Amino acid sequence: QVQLVESGGGSVQAGDSLKLSCAASKDIGSACMAWFRQAPGKQREGVVGIDGRGDTTHADSVRGRFTISRDNAKNFLYLQMNFLKPEDTAMYYCATTNGRCLGTPSLLLASLYDDWGQGTQVTVSS
């Protein structure tokens, strides 16, 4: 099992940027990892994922605005969010597979992931 701790959330204005971080307790170098979000009254949705080779998948709603990256040496996952919109308001979670994960088309499916963080809140006001 991998413990994940998110940080970097906050309250911002529309058009602002935020960078979320996710610290993992174990080596994540070959794992698939992703950021999900859940707004009040809505289902959890995949935002952007990255596999063990560095290939990424973005939800249409964030493509061109959000960028995922990872630092395998430090066991960190990041989410750079630019041009934030009020509809981006949600609790953001990072998730990881508990093992090697390459070339999957399912990076935005929650069922792919084994371990989840507790979340960090992002609130965007207009």
pLDDT of 70 reads 95
Could you give the angle at the alpha carbon of 7 between the alpha carbons of 2 and 90, nearest 5°? 100
Partnered with residue 94 across adjacent β-strands are 35
- For 24, phi then psi, to 5°, come to -105, 145
Sequence-separated (6 or more) residues with CB below 8 Å from residue 100: 30, 31, 52
pLDDT of 55 reads 93
Is residue 105 pLDDT above 80, yes or no? Answer: no
pLDDT band at 96 (very low <50, low <70, confident <90, very high): very high
Q: Is the dihedral of CA 106, 63, 38, 19 positive or negative?
A: positive
